[in-house]
Structure 1
Amino acid sequence: MTIAADPPLSPADEALVRAALELLDERAVAGRHEVACALRTRSGAVHRGLHVESSIGRASICAEGVAIGAAAIAGDTEIEVIAAVLRTEDGGWRVVTPCGVCRELISDYGPDAQVIDYDAAREVPVRRVPVRSLLPGKTTRRWAGA
């Protein structure tokens, strides 16, 4: 699988997108789990998460948050790169950009993290960008001992 990206994704980033897609293929249920995510930490470990839809939209949990939680359970939250994929109505898939809440979460746990981003307005819609570029004017949060 080669993803058209500008600039082209590294083999490690392609593998990350593939890990998210594999989870989506394994567990996707229409209306319940239509997005999967994979993140790679500085240690090189990959953690995955699946979107959890609720009948009350606000209670839904994004795949990125679930992946960050999985990384936290493993004690490995220094996010290097994160990618999410969406199941499309035609049965295909595409990379999806994180929502605003997920951008905040990613930047809180990985202020220097890179995001495999999607923007349909670009000629080649997939690219790797710093999470900070998706949050202009973001104030940083520091926890005690961080």
Structure 2
Amino acid sequence: MTAIAVDQELVDAAIELARTRTPGREWSGAAALRLDDGSIVTGIAPVALNGAVQLCHETGAICEAFKRDRRVVASVCVLLADQGRGYWIVAPCGVCQERLFAYGPRVEVGVPEAADHRRWRSLPLSELQPHWFARVFPEDGWGYPAAE
């Protein structure tokens, strides 16, 4: 399977959800995932009184992909930045990396450029996390079947 890079359409889908769902909020963000059929699903973190039970922006979108029985091929998360003038791209946290690894090491994720966090590049999970613990298991024995 050819890698599908994070692109502007995916970034824009995440930004649009953050802008429309949480307008004017001091802290906002969202995620967008591209599925193997080309569709895009988005997610946003619900607010919880107990911060220990909050979820990541990617979680709802990952659940939607699972519900549709589709593979995730690319993922990006954005956060409000620059005093509300723009959005930063953020790499998936460790927990979301684990969730995305269920779809294989070739899932592309957006990572920020060091000089400007509004700019990004696309990396496969295998490069983002080269020492992932499950590499010791056969590829066909972990998570979703290997992509063809």
TM range (shorter): 0.7 to 0.9
Match of 1:142 in 2: 142
Alpha-carbon shift at residue 136 of structure 1 (Å): 2.5
1:96 equivalent to 2:95? Answer: no
Query: What code does the residue aligned with 2:38 have?
Result: G
Alpha-carbon shift at residue 110 of structure 1 (Å): 3.7
Runs of 4+ in 1 over 2 A off after TM superposition: 122-125
1:79 equivalent to 2:79? Answer: no
- Sequence identity (%): 30
The answer (yes or no) to whether the contact 2:14–2:78 under 8 Å persists in 1 is: yes
Query: What code does the residue aligned with 1:142 have?
Result: W
Structure 1 segments unaligned to the other structure (5+ residues):
1-9
The answer (yes or no) to whether the contact 2:112–2:121 under 8 Å persists in 1 is: yes
- What SS does structure 1 have at the residue aligned with 2:13? helix
- What SS does structure 1 have at the residue aligned with 2:102? helix
- What SS does structure 2 have at the residue aligned with 1:117? strand
How big is each residue's C-alpha offset from its partner over 1:5-60, in whole Å with a ceiling of 9 and x where there is no partner?
xxxxx7x71001001111011102637x7220111112111111011232222200
Supply the distance in 2 between the matched residues of 1:53 and 1:106 (Cα, whole angstroms): 22
Alpha-carbon shift at residue 89 of structure 1 (Å): 6.1
1:130 equivalent to 2:116? Answer: no
- What SS does structure 2 have at the residue aligned with 1:82? strand
Alpha-carbon shift at residue 75 of structure 1 (Å): 1.9
Number of paired residues? 131
Supply the distance in 2 between the matched residues of 1:40 and 1:64 (Cα, whole angstroms): 12
Q: How does 1:41-52 map to 2 (within 5 A)?
A: 41-52=35-46
- What SS does structure 1 have at the residue aligned with 2:99? helix
Structure 2 segments unaligned to the other structure (5+ residues):
136-140
Aligned Cα root-mean-square deviation (Å):
2.3
The answer (yes or no) to whether the contact 2:73–2:103 under 8 Å persists in 1 is: no
Supply the distance in 1 between the matched residues of 2:67 and 2:78 (Cα, whole angstroms): 22
Match of 2:53 in 1: 59
TM-score normalised over the length of structure 1: 0.78
